[in-house]
Chain A
Amino acid sequence: MNDVANPLAALRSGASSAEAESFAEARVALAVRGATPPHVPMRRVLLTCSGLLVTEVAVMLATDQSLHDTLLPGYLILMVAFALVFCLGAVTVAGFPAGAAAAGLVALEVGNLLPLLAGAALLALVCGVAPGWARVEAWQAAHTKPLTSEQEAAVAQRGLNGDARRGWAPGVRLRNYWRADRVLAAFLVLAFPPSIMAFALWFVGWTATR
């Protein structure tokens, strides 16, 4: 059975550049077919954050701090925790509480906006190379795009050879490609809430004083 020709075994000699590119994409698609998204224990993250928040608020109230000083570190804890989950754990929804917490920080002090935007840019750059996102994208692509007939044949061949553990084509690994579009999108997700909050505060204040 092993002598069955595998269409993805090697690029034929004399192939055009377009064919070579298509061939490389097909091999990557096949290799990542078994990729799974990173599993982040969100329940544990939520419990840890809640514990930290409760402790922080209790300490601040016990030391007779103002509401402003109590909320500031609280928002900071939420923002950092969920921003890290968003960037490293590749969980889209974590961007929501991270952004909301950043908006809360801006509501407390509008001057926080610029440092927050700088932080969002830094985290977005991390998203550009984060391996978690590459795994999620590979997993999603494998679940939304049907294989071509060539890839189906290669999968069948892999089954015949009993090699179902990894990508059929030797040397093909899931690599972290720099994704500039992902960086921009991540920046928007993280930076939009504090920006709209700052704009809303400015606009309402401006119209009230005109």
Chain B
Amino acid sequence: MVYLLLVIATVSISDIRDLVSQNRKKDLYVYAVFMLLVAAFAIFYFSDPARDSFSKIIFSIAGKGD
């Protein structure tokens, strides 16, 4: 998880520098929100990779789970 967060941070810094240099504020805000959501998702998944999968959750909602 630490490596993935490092990758996210590195890629974000590179992309944000590009966006700032081009003065695209709206793109920057949307990008930051997306990257934060992705980082949150990474923490959520890698904190317990053995948790119920997305398919399992969907099937249990649909009443097809075990």
A and B bound? no
Taking Cβ atoms with an 8 Å cutoff, the residues of B that contact A are none
